[in-house]
């Protein structure tokens, strides 16, 4: 097995992990959140 083959397989697994995560989260990225409105609870 060559280094190129190992690199290709590693990238394939990373892509598969990402795709699986996308399917489990209904296509929404779990780490992206929109900020809406202003929260005045922190103002003094």
What are the pLDDT digits (tens) for 2-41? 999 999 999 999 999 998 988 887 766 556 666 776 766 6
Q: What pLDDT shows up at residue 41?
A: 61
Q: Report how far apart, in Å, the C-alpha atoms of 24 and of each of 16, 18, 36, 37 are.
A: 12, 10, 25, 29
Contact at 8 Å (CB) between 13 and 4?
no
Contacts for 3-8: CB closer than 8 Å, 24+ residues apart: none
């Amino acid at each position: 097995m060559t280094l190129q083959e190992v690199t290709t397989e590693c990238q394939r697994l990373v892509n598969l992990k990402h795709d699986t995560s996308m399917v489990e989260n209904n296509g929404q990225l779990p780490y992206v959140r929109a900020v809406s409105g202003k929260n005045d609870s922190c103002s003094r």
